[in-house]
Amino acid sequence: MGSTTRQALAASRAALDAAAGSLGLAQADELLAAGRVMGESAQLRSVLSDASTDKETKVGAMRAVLGSSVSAAVLEILGTAVSHRWSNDDDLLAAIEELGIRAAAASAPDGSDIEGELFAFGRAVTSDAELELALSSKLGSAASKAQLVDRLLAGKVSEHALVILRHLVQQPRGRRINALIRQATSIVADESDHAIATVTTAKPIAAAQLERLRAALSANYGRQLKVNQVIDPELIGGVRVQVGNDIIDGSVATRLHELRLQLAG
Protein backbone atom coordinates (compact mmCIF):
# COMPACT_ATOMS: atom_id res chain seq x y z
CA MET A 1 0.00 0.00 0.00
CA GLY A 2 1.50 3.33 -1.07
CA SER A 3 1.79 6.31 1.25
CA THR A 4 -0.84 8.20 -0.75
CA THR A 5 -3.37 5.42 -0.22
CA ARG A 6 -2.45 5.06 3.48
CA GLN A 7 -3.18 8.74 4.10
CA ALA A 8 -6.44 8.63 2.16
CA LEU A 9 -7.54 5.47 3.96
CA ALA A 10 -6.78 6.99 7.37
CA ALA A 11 -8.89 10.05 6.52
CA SER A 12 -11.73 7.84 5.24
CA ARG A 13 -11.70 5.70 8.39
CA ALA A 14 -11.80 8.88 10.48
CA ALA A 15 -14.87 10.03 8.54
CA LEU A 16 -16.53 6.66 9.19
CA ASP A 17 -15.78 6.90 12.91
CA ALA A 18 -17.14 10.44 13.04
CA ALA A 19 -20.44 9.30 11.51
CA ALA A 20 -20.75 6.19 13.68
CA GLY A 21 -23.88 7.40 15.45
CA SER A 22 -25.70 7.79 12.12
CA LEU A 23 -24.76 4.42 10.67
CA GLY A 24 -26.59 1.11 10.75
CA LEU A 25 -26.71 -1.96 8.56
CA ALA A 26 -28.66 -0.06 5.88
CA GLN A 27 -25.89 2.51 5.59
CA ALA A 28 -23.25 -0.26 5.48
CA ASP A 29 -25.16 -1.78 2.56
CA GLU A 30 -25.25 1.64 0.87
CA LEU A 31 -21.47 2.00 1.15
CA LEU A 32 -20.90 -1.42 -0.36
CA ALA A 33 -23.41 -0.76 -3.14
CA ALA A 34 -21.73 2.57 -3.88
CA GLY A 35 -18.43 0.75 -4.32
CA ARG A 36 -20.07 -1.60 -6.81
CA VAL A 37 -21.49 1.32 -8.79
CA MET A 38 -18.04 2.89 -8.96
CA GLY A 39 -16.56 -0.45 -9.96
CA GLU A 40 -18.98 -0.75 -12.87
CA SER A 41 -18.35 2.78 -14.18
CA ALA A 42 -14.94 3.18 -15.82
CA GLN A 43 -15.75 6.81 -16.55
CA LEU A 44 -16.49 7.64 -12.90
CA ARG A 45 -13.41 5.76 -11.68
CA SER A 46 -11.28 7.67 -14.17
CA VAL A 47 -12.46 10.99 -12.79
CA LEU A 48 -12.09 9.93 -9.15
CA SER A 49 -8.58 8.47 -9.55
CA ASP A 50 -7.14 11.28 -11.70
CA ALA A 51 -4.56 13.09 -9.58
CA SER A 52 -4.94 16.22 -11.71
CA THR A 53 -8.70 16.53 -11.01
CA ASP A 54 -9.57 18.92 -8.18
CA LYS A 55 -11.50 17.78 -5.09
CA GLU A 56 -14.65 19.72 -5.94
CA THR A 57 -14.93 18.04 -9.34
CA LYS A 58 -14.45 14.59 -7.84
CA VAL A 59 -17.03 15.11 -5.12
CA GLY A 60 -19.43 16.66 -7.63
CA ALA A 61 -19.09 13.66 -9.97
CA MET A 62 -19.68 11.24 -7.10
CA ARG A 63 -22.74 13.14 -5.90
CA ALA A 64 -24.16 13.31 -9.43
CA VAL A 65 -24.05 9.52 -9.73
CA LEU A 66 -24.82 8.44 -6.16
CA GLY A 67 -26.50 11.40 -4.49
CA SER A 68 -30.06 10.11 -4.89
CA SER A 69 -29.33 6.52 -3.82
CA VAL A 70 -27.51 6.91 -0.50
CA SER A 71 -28.18 8.64 2.81
CA ALA A 72 -26.64 11.96 3.81
CA ALA A 73 -24.25 10.25 6.25
CA VAL A 74 -22.96 7.88 3.59
CA LEU A 75 -22.67 10.70 1.07
CA GLU A 76 -20.47 12.58 3.55
CA ILE A 77 -18.19 9.58 4.06
CA LEU A 78 -17.91 8.98 0.31
CA GLY A 79 -17.17 12.68 -0.20
CA THR A 80 -14.20 12.39 2.15
CA ALA A 81 -12.95 9.25 0.41
CA VAL A 82 -13.11 10.55 -3.15
CA SER A 83 -11.70 13.96 -2.27
CA HIS A 84 -8.36 12.37 -1.35
CA ARG A 85 -5.71 11.06 -3.71
CA TRP A 86 -5.32 7.28 -4.05
CA SER A 87 -2.46 5.34 -5.60
CA ASN A 88 -4.92 3.80 -8.07
CA ASP A 89 -8.65 3.31 -8.55
CA ASP A 90 -8.59 -0.24 -7.13
CA ASP A 91 -7.27 1.15 -3.83
CA LEU A 92 -10.29 3.45 -3.71
CA LEU A 93 -12.69 0.56 -4.34
CA ALA A 94 -10.92 -1.53 -1.70
CA ALA A 95 -11.24 1.32 0.81
CA ILE A 96 -14.95 1.78 0.22
CA GLU A 97 -15.42 -1.97 0.61
CA GLU A 98 -13.52 -1.84 3.89
CA LEU A 99 -15.63 1.07 5.13
CA GLY A 100 -18.83 -0.84 4.32
CA ILE A 101 -17.63 -3.99 6.07
CA ARG A 102 -16.53 -2.00 9.12
CA ALA A 103 -19.91 -0.26 9.24
CA ALA A 104 -21.69 -3.63 9.06
CA ALA A 105 -19.53 -5.05 11.85
CA ALA A 106 -19.96 -1.98 14.06
CA SER A 107 -23.75 -2.10 13.69
CA ALA A 108 -24.06 -5.74 14.76
CA PRO A 109 -25.57 -6.50 18.18
CA ASP A 110 -23.29 -7.45 21.07
CA GLY A 111 -22.45 -11.12 21.01
CA SER A 112 -22.64 -11.41 17.24
CA ASP A 113 -20.16 -13.75 15.57
CA ILE A 114 -19.86 -12.37 12.06
CA GLU A 115 -16.28 -13.63 11.80
CA GLY A 116 -17.41 -17.16 12.62
CA GLU A 117 -20.23 -16.98 10.07
CA LEU A 118 -17.92 -15.73 7.33
CA PHE A 119 -15.29 -18.33 8.20
CA ALA A 120 -17.82 -21.19 8.14
CA PHE A 121 -19.14 -20.13 4.74
CA GLY A 122 -15.60 -19.84 3.39
CA ARG A 123 -14.85 -23.39 4.53
CA ALA A 124 -18.08 -24.65 2.96
CA VAL A 125 -17.21 -23.02 -0.36
CA THR A 126 -13.63 -24.29 -0.52
CA SER A 127 -14.80 -27.84 0.24
CA ASP A 128 -17.38 -27.80 -2.58
CA ALA A 129 -15.81 -27.32 -6.02
CA GLU A 130 -19.19 -26.89 -7.69
CA LEU A 131 -20.25 -24.15 -5.30
CA GLU A 132 -16.90 -22.41 -5.58
CA LEU A 133 -17.20 -22.42 -9.37
CA ALA A 134 -20.75 -21.04 -9.23
CA LEU A 135 -19.62 -18.14 -7.04
CA SER A 136 -16.35 -17.47 -8.86
CA SER A 137 -17.15 -18.01 -12.53
CA LYS A 138 -16.99 -14.93 -14.73
CA LEU A 139 -19.91 -16.37 -16.71
CA GLY A 140 -22.42 -15.89 -13.89
CA SER A 141 -24.00 -12.49 -13.27
CA ALA A 142 -23.39 -10.58 -10.06
CA ALA A 143 -27.12 -10.68 -9.28
CA SER A 144 -27.32 -14.47 -9.69
CA LYS A 145 -24.36 -14.95 -7.33
CA ALA A 146 -25.98 -12.73 -4.70
CA GLN A 147 -29.23 -14.70 -5.07
CA LEU A 148 -27.32 -17.95 -4.59
CA VAL A 149 -25.82 -16.63 -1.35
CA ASP A 150 -29.33 -15.68 -0.20
CA ARG A 151 -30.72 -19.12 -1.00
CA LEU A 152 -27.93 -20.83 0.87
CA LEU A 153 -27.72 -18.59 3.93
CA ALA A 154 -30.93 -16.59 4.48
CA GLY A 155 -32.20 -17.39 7.96
CA LYS A 156 -29.01 -19.31 8.83
CA VAL A 157 -26.61 -16.41 9.40
CA SER A 158 -27.00 -12.82 10.53
CA GLU A 159 -28.13 -10.11 8.12
CA HIS A 160 -24.79 -8.43 8.77
CA ALA A 161 -22.88 -11.44 7.42
CA LEU A 162 -25.31 -11.70 4.49
CA VAL A 163 -24.78 -8.07 3.48
CA ILE A 164 -21.01 -8.61 3.44
CA LEU A 165 -21.14 -11.90 1.54
CA ARG A 166 -23.59 -10.59 -1.05
CA HIS A 167 -21.18 -7.78 -1.79
CA LEU A 168 -18.09 -9.98 -1.96
CA VAL A 169 -19.51 -12.32 -4.59
CA GLN A 170 -20.76 -9.38 -6.66
CA GLN A 171 -17.46 -7.47 -6.71
CA PRO A 172 -14.53 -9.90 -6.40
CA ARG A 173 -12.08 -7.58 -8.17
CA GLY A 174 -10.00 -10.52 -9.37
CA ARG A 175 -9.75 -12.20 -5.96
CA ARG A 176 -10.60 -15.84 -5.23
CA ILE A 177 -13.58 -16.44 -2.97
CA ASN A 178 -11.50 -17.77 -0.05
CA ALA A 179 -9.23 -14.70 -0.22
CA LEU A 180 -12.29 -12.43 -0.31
CA ILE A 181 -13.77 -13.99 2.79
CA ARG A 182 -10.44 -14.15 4.66
CA GLN A 183 -9.85 -10.45 4.09
CA ALA A 184 -13.41 -9.51 5.10
CA THR A 185 -13.08 -11.63 8.25
CA SER A 186 -9.88 -9.79 9.18
CA ILE A 187 -11.60 -6.41 8.73
CA VAL A 188 -14.55 -7.47 10.90
CA ALA A 189 -12.17 -8.70 13.59
CA ASP A 190 -10.10 -5.52 13.48
CA GLU A 191 -13.24 -3.43 13.90
CA SER A 192 -13.78 -5.32 17.18
CA ASP A 193 -10.12 -4.72 18.13
CA HIS A 194 -8.86 -8.28 17.72
CA ALA A 195 -7.35 -10.44 15.00
CA ILE A 196 -7.99 -13.91 13.61
CA ALA A 197 -5.64 -16.87 13.90
CA THR A 198 -6.48 -19.84 11.68
CA VAL A 199 -5.08 -22.98 13.30
CA THR A 200 -4.91 -26.05 11.05
CA THR A 201 -4.21 -29.50 12.48
CA ALA A 202 -4.58 -33.07 11.28
CA LYS A 203 -6.90 -33.89 14.20
CA PRO A 204 -8.97 -31.75 16.62
CA ILE A 205 -6.93 -30.48 19.56
CA ALA A 206 -8.19 -30.12 23.11
CA ALA A 207 -9.88 -26.88 24.11
CA ALA A 208 -7.31 -26.23 26.85
CA GLN A 209 -4.43 -26.68 24.41
CA LEU A 210 -6.14 -24.42 21.88
CA GLU A 211 -6.61 -21.75 24.56
CA ARG A 212 -2.92 -21.93 25.53
CA LEU A 213 -2.01 -21.47 21.87
CA ARG A 214 -4.41 -18.53 21.56
CA ALA A 215 -2.96 -16.85 24.66
CA ALA A 216 0.62 -17.33 23.41
CA LEU A 217 -0.21 -15.93 19.98
CA SER A 218 -2.04 -12.96 21.55
CA ALA A 219 1.00 -12.18 23.67
CA ASN A 220 3.29 -12.51 20.65
CA TYR A 221 1.19 -10.21 18.44
CA GLY A 222 0.35 -7.74 21.20
CA ARG A 223 -3.43 -7.94 20.69
CA GLN A 224 -6.26 -10.34 21.40
CA LEU A 225 -6.68 -13.12 18.86
CA LYS A 226 -9.68 -15.28 18.11
CA VAL A 227 -8.91 -18.79 16.88
CA ASN A 228 -10.60 -20.54 13.97
CA GLN A 229 -9.71 -24.23 13.91
CA VAL A 230 -9.44 -26.19 10.64
CA ILE A 231 -9.01 -29.96 10.46
CA ASP A 232 -6.89 -31.18 7.53
CA PRO A 233 -5.78 -34.84 7.72
CA GLU A 234 -3.25 -34.21 4.92
CA LEU A 235 -1.05 -32.36 7.44
CA ILE A 236 -0.36 -35.78 9.09
CA GLY A 237 0.64 -34.07 12.34
CA GLY A 238 1.87 -30.81 13.81
CA VAL A 239 0.16 -27.48 13.38
CA ARG A 240 -0.05 -24.63 10.89
CA VAL A 241 -1.02 -21.15 12.09
CA GLN A 242 -1.95 -18.19 9.93
CA VAL A 243 -2.43 -14.68 11.33
CA GLY A 244 -3.03 -12.18 8.55
CA ASN A 245 -0.21 -12.70 6.05
CA ASP A 246 2.00 -14.46 8.62
CA ILE A 247 2.20 -18.26 8.39
CA ILE A 248 3.84 -20.45 11.02
CA ASP A 249 4.04 -23.94 9.54
CA GLY A 250 5.15 -26.75 11.83
CA SER A 251 3.17 -29.50 10.14
CA VAL A 252 4.65 -32.93 9.48
CA ALA A 253 3.57 -32.71 5.82
CA THR A 254 5.59 -29.53 5.33
CA ARG A 255 8.67 -30.96 7.07
CA LEU A 256 8.49 -34.09 4.88
CA HIS A 257 8.14 -31.91 1.79
CA GLU A 258 11.18 -29.86 2.78
CA LEU A 259 13.15 -33.04 3.44
CA ARG A 260 12.27 -34.40 -0.01
CA LEU A 261 13.45 -31.14 -1.57
CA GLN A 262 16.75 -31.38 0.30
CA LEU A 263 17.27 -34.99 -0.79
CA ALA A 264 16.42 -34.10 -4.39
CA GLY A 265 19.01 -31.31 -4.33
Tens-digit pLDDT profile for residues 179-207: 999 999 999 999 988 899 998 988 998 99
Top-ranked range on mean pLDDT: pick from 95-99, 120-124, 178-182, 205-209: 95-99
Burial degree of 51 (CB within 10 A; 0-12, 13-18, 19+)? exposed
| Residue among 205, 10, 211, 16 nearest 1 (CA) | 10
Buried b (16+ CB within 10 A) or exposed e, 113-150: ebbbbbbbbbeebeeeeebbebbbeeeeebeebbebbe
DSSP state for residue 233 in the 8-state scheme: G
232-248 pLDDT, tens digit per residue, is 888 888 888 898 888 88
* pTM (two decimals): 0.87
Cβ count within 10 A of residue 243: 20
pLDDT of 263 > 80? The answer is no
54-74 pLDDT, tens digit per residue, is 999 999 999 999 988 999 999
pLDDT at 256 (0 to 100): 65
